[in-house]
Amino acid sequence: MPSLIETIKMAAVEAVKASNPVGIVFGKVTSTEPLKINIEQRLTLDESHLLLTSLVSDFEVDVTLDHETEDHTHTHTIFDTYSGGGSASSETHKHEVKGKKTVTVHLGLKVDESVILLRVQGGQKFIILDRIK
């Protein structure tokens, strides 16, 4: 017969199991619009059950650039009332890109990608952590 302490420990372990603590699950993206993920080949989660991190979604970020483009050759159209306009001769040159710019990082999920998720306590929400390569 187990001691009182062993009985309390077993009851505590069973209580934790019954509360559905955080757990790791694996899934596959089955749709992106709307987002749906099938987990462990038995349950499909929709957007109402999913929380996305920046590793699995498109987002914008501000960056500071001090850069020149690669060599580029093109002509520029000239507009003037005296000659009637025309084109400048073709020239190879670079363009300067400097300052604070906003760029979009494209990390949105795609159909058939495998993902790793954390089941939030209680099992109603899942955090998509990242893709699995």
20-58+106-133 to CATH, choices 3.90.230.10, 2.60.120.620, 2.40.50.140, 2.30.30.360? 2.40.50.140
The per-residue pLDDT for 15 is: 67
Query: Is pLDDT of 83 > 70?
Result: no
The per-residue pLDDT for 118 is: 93
What is the tens place of the pLDDT at every residue in 28-42? 999 999 999 999 888
Alpha-carbon distance of 55 to 127, in angstroms, equals: 11
The per-residue b/e assignment along 62-78, b for 16 or more CB within 10 angstroms, e otherwise, is eeeeeeeeeeeeeeeee
Query: Is pLDDT of 79 > 90?
Result: no
Strands (E), the chain: 23-32, 35-39, 43-46, 50-52, 59-68, 72-74, 77-78, 86-87, 91-93, 96-105, 114-119, 126-132
Task: For residue 93, name the pLDDT band (cuts at 50, 70, 90).
Answer: confident
Q: Where are the domains of the chain?
A: 20-58+106-133, 64-103
Query: Is pLDDT of 46 > 90?
Result: yes
The per-residue pLDDT for 77 is: 73
